[in-house]
Copies of this chain bind each other. A is one copy, B any other.
Amino acid sequence: MDYYREHRNEFLEGLKAWLRIASISTLPEYAAQVRRAAEFARDALADAGLERAELIEGTGHPLVYAEWLGAPGKPTLLLYGHYDVQPPDPLEEWKSPPFEPEVREENIYARGASDDKGQTWILIKAVEGWLKTQRRLPVNVRFLIEGEEESGGGHISAYVASHPPRLAADAAVICDTEMFAPGLPTICVGLRGIVYAEIEVEGATHDLHSGVYGGVAPNPLQAVAEILCALKDRDGRIRIPGFLDRVRPPSPKEKEAWQRLPFDEQHYREKELGVSQLTGEPGYSVFERLWARPTFEVHGIRGGFTGEGAKTVIPARAVAKVSMRLVADQKPEEAAEQLRRSVAEVCPRGVKAEVRILHSAGPSLVDPENPLVKAAA
């Protein structure tokens, strides 16, 4: 541990230098900075003592790879992180500039500090400490750091799908999740999947004046409200037939572990969310609702008039943007189909409803009893 203490300041300055690079992957005008951030990661991996540190070119932003395979017979870990960041707007919400890292009360503030340069940096420096002081690691490691996590991840998807031998590993570690509480290292064993969809409702062929047609014309906005309420009841129970059938309940061990987490519901409710009451399905704890139960949420409703003042239009169409978060063992294609069928069933008279899936991803869950998870814990 001395190595880490001695180099603490140098590590911090290194992270700050990385954070200063505005590697906003979704904005083409930042492409040069994105590449600089990739090269910075590659150089840091090489300096840490890893081998074959290099950029993997392809469509989009480069992947960064490095390895140390000097422990034959020992497990191999594939370590994932990303060096790109999201756009920092709205800028007026920042207390210090997003690409000028600032330490305030033991926290470092900059775009990418916690998503995901900070975590990735810790992994690199952890490996560096072993290699500089012991000349070896207890396991084999391969780093794969991408630059498109915030903009689609096309490059890494194609690369992983082709199964190059250099990705062979016994476990993959993703350092892109949160710590549950300050000072509480956290192993996240599951991630919810998603189905993101638009529900489009069509009424008349053109917008109508509610003074002339109100009373007989179907209102697509009201129809959207009716569909949303039919899909999820006032208690937060999702009413899509079959949707909950595959949901795998958490094991008694998991539930017990969750109970040991330091959690003050009142503080969470009042300080983190600022609401009078939490919602969600009755009969499930907060963590079950957050981590082990699927969700159905509406994210926006388009249609009609939303400007200042009053306009009495009955719009010809309305669109709701919704997502379903999936847990193990739900399947995105099946959930999408259940949504489609369910919307068709509950669609009010006089309107037509269509479901368009914008994107989806499966849930992932690793058994907490997995020996590698236990070894890490």
Please report A residues at the B interface, Cβ cutoff 8 Å.
192, 194, 196, 203-206, 208, 210-219, 221-222, 224-226, 228-229, 232, 234, 273-281, 286, 289-290, 293, 295, 297-306, 309-315, 319, 321, 323, 325, 348-352, 358-359
Contacts and interface: CB of A to CB of B under 8 A. Distances in A.
B234 A226 contact: yes
A266 to B, nearest CB: 13
A351 B274 CA distance: 10
A187 to B, nearest CB: 17
A221 B300 CA distance: 7
B348 A234 contact: yes
A7 to B, nearest CB: 33
A290 B358 CA distance: 39
A299 B314 contact: yes
A225 B318 CA distance: 13
A278 to B, nearest CB: 4
A306 B319 contact: yes
A150 to B, nearest CB: 13
A221 B306 CA distance: 14
A254 to B, nearest CB: 16
A305 B348 CA distance: 24
Contacts of A352: 276
A206 B301 contact: no
A286 B225 contact: no
Given A210-B295, A299-B313, A300-B306, A217 B350 contact: no
Contact of A225 (B225, B280, B348, B351): B225
A319 B323 CA distance: 20
**Residue of A208, A217, A275 contacting most chain B CB atoms (<10 Å):** A275
Number of copies: 2
A218 B359 CA distance: 24
B275 A203 contact: yes
A279 to B, nearest CB: 5
Contact of A216 (B204, B208, B213, B290): B290
A214 B350 CA distance: 32
A309 B297 CA distance: 16
Contacts of A232: 222
Contact of A279 (B218, B279, B298, B305): B218
B210 A310 contact: no
A111 B126 CA distance: 74
A348 B276 CA distance: 11
Contacts of A302: 306
A312 B323 contact: yes
Given A297-B210, A304-B321, A306-B301, A350 B275 contact: yes
26 contacts: A205-B273, A206-B274, A212-B290, A213-B273, A214-B295, A214-B297, A215-B281, A215-B295, A216-B289, A218-B277, A222-B228, A229-B229, A277-B350, A279-B348, A279-B350, A299-B304, A299-B310, A299-B311, A299-B313, A299-B314, A301-B303, A301-B306, A302-B306, A305-B321, A306-B319, A309-B358
A303 B280 CA distance: 20
Contact of A221 (B194, B289, B301): B301
A214 B327 CA distance: 12
A170 B219 CA distance: 41
A215 B303 CA distance: 26
A1 to B, nearest CB: 32
